[in-house]
């Protein structure tokens, strides 16, 4: 079941580097659904540079990872990245609104498979990605709830065994 209400984090936490609105150092991206894709726009500035005039490639990977991983939240699942593969096609210019899109290619009980890309305003491809996401490992889940007890209310009951 897709629940658009879970697309953006509205918890009291909101510290995720890419989409957390309470992370003053973060990108604070917010998402919307466009047909079968999760979409956001990001205009990087000089704080996000790798080379002069160009967005750092690690940040491109981070926004792709985040937009693709949000598919889990739409299904009330919190997942971790198991595999992320990014193919860079062109340098992303600073000061230009980049369109970031992610979509699900397969949702299984234990894995979410996704694809995504970053586009320039003229439709040019900056990067393409694929990702595989898995349920939170039990130990990580417990560490997260210990660090912020409110997180527990957003999680599915812990599996037996």
Q: Which value, in Å, is the radius of gyration of the alpha carbons in the chain?
A: 16
CA-based nearest residue to 70, from 113, 43, 38: 38
Q: Which CATH superfamily is domain 4-151 in?
A: Hotdog Thioesterase (3.10.129.10)
- Residue 14 CA to residue 23 CA, distance in Å, equals 7
pLDDT at 159: 63
Task: Give per-residue pLDDT as tens, 117-138.
Answer: 999 999 999 999 999 999 999 9
The domains of the chain are located at: 4-151
Question: Does residue 89 surpass a pLDDT of 90?
Answer: yes
pLDDT at 129: 98
Task: Give per-residue pLDDT as tens, 57-86.
Answer: 999 999 999 999 999 988 888 899 999 999
């Amino acid at each position: 079941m897709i629940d658009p209400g879970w697309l953006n984090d509205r918890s009291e936490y909101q510290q995720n580097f890419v989409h957390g609105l309470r992370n003053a150092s973060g990108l604070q991206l917010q998402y919307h659904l466009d047909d079968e894709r999760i979409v956001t726009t990001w205009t990087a500035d000089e704080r996000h540079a790798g080379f002069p005039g160009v967005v750092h490639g690690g940040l491109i990977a981070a926004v792709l990872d985040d937009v693709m991983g949000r598919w889990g939240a739409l299904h009330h699942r919190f997942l971790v990245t198991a595999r992320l593969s990014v193919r860079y096609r062109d340098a992303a210019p600073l000061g230009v609104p980049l369109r970031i899109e992610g979509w699900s290619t397969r949702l299984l009980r234990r894995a979410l498979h996704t694809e995504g890309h970053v586009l320039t305003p003229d439709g040019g491809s900056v990067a393409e990605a694929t990702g595989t996401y898995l349920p939170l490992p039990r130990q990580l889940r417990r560490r997260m709830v210990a660090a912020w007890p409110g997180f527990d209310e957003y999680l599915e009951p812990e599996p037996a065994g």
